[in-house]
Amino acid sequence: MSALPRAVAAPSSYFSCRDLHAYYGESYIVQGVGFSIQEGEIVALLGRNGAGKTSTLRTIARLADPQLARGEIWLAGKALHPMRSWQAARHGVGLVPEDRRIIAGLTVEENLQLARIEKPVGWPLERIYEHFPKLAERRTQEAVTLSGGEQQMLAVARALARDVKLLLLDEPYEGLAPVIVREIEKILQEVKAAGFTTLIVEQNAIAALQLADRAIILDMGEVVFDGTAKEVLDDAQLRKEYLAV
């Protein structure tokens, strides 16, 4: 009698991806990426333009593109790789996309309430407004009329309105003035203090490293560095070679 196939064991890390390979159309974007994140840790996913950062983030969130060719994705003992994006979201993957995707025609509060329609839910509105006082001031304002920085705050707050186990931030500082970046940094420091497990993709590498505990650097779709954020901040040659900073 032939032996039954063994079940794939979930890894011990809170989050991990193993040997991810993904394509965007015919382009081979993610080429064997693998790393892990401990619960409550903030990890910066860095690299030059075209290194595969956003594609890796979108693969983890189980979005339709890029297409996962093979690999495993695990969160809190649950396999995400067989899931669709809405299933991954229900399991606690909270993506804050680069374009923010604020829903037109709805107020700030309606955008937040919409995120809380389906259980499990995360932070109540009172807690969100405590951490995002500008959103409290503008709760009845149509959300798409907010400034870029305020829309970014709303996008982060909307993710926290769900029961988030893994917060994915795609370019949270993109297109924002330095003074607004400092406001978003303060918000993300509060998110860090609240203990959210977070993976951040950001071209402003120094800002991301100052927030993060660890850093993963991608080059041509592969992991070329996995270590502490301090190691990258202290290694000018590493930053110059892979981050151009």
Looking at the structure of the chain, the number of domains it has is 1
- Range 26-40 average pLDDT: 96
- Residue 4, pLDDT above cutoff 60: no
Residue 118: predicted pLDDT:
85
Answer for the pair 59, 22: CB distance below 8 angstroms, yes or no.
yes
Q: What is the CATH number of the domain that holds 54?
A: 3.40.50.300
Q: How confident is the model at residue 6 (pLDDT cuts 50, 70, 90)?
A: very low
Determine, yes or no, domain membership for 188: yes
- Reduced to 3 states (helix: H, G, I; strand: E, B; else coil), residue 207 is helix
Give the span between the Cα atoms of 56 and 72, in whole angstroms.
12
Determine, yes or no, domain membership for 1: no
For residue range 221-235, what is the model confidence (pLDDT) as tens digits?
999 999 999 999 999
Residue 9: predicted pLDDT:
62
- Residue 5, pLDDT above cutoff 60: no
Determine, yes or no, domain membership for 174: yes
- Residue 3, pLDDT above cutoff 70: no
Contacts (Cβ under 8 Å, ≥6 apart) of 103? 110, 111, 114, 143, 144
Q: Give first-to-last CA distance, the chain, whole Å.
A: 60
Determine, yes or no, domain membership for 3: no
- Range 129-141 average pLDDT: 96
Residue 98: predicted pLDDT:
92
Determine, yes or no, domain membership for 4: no
Q: Return phi, psi of residue 156, to 5°.
A: -70, -45
Answer for the pair 10, 79: CB distance below 8 angstroms, yes or no.
yes
Determine, yes or no, domain membership for 2: no
For residue range 75-118, what is the model confidence (pLDDT) as tens digits?
999 999 999 999 999 999 999 999 999 999 999 999 999 999 98
Contacts (Cβ under 8 Å, ≥6 apart) of 33? 17, 19, 20, 52, 56, 71, 218, 221, 222, 223
Determine, yes or no, domain membership for 65: yes
Residue 8: predicted pLDDT:
56
- Range 26-41 average pLDDT: 96
Determine, yes or no, domain membership for 221: yes
Q: Domain limits at 107?
A: 15-242
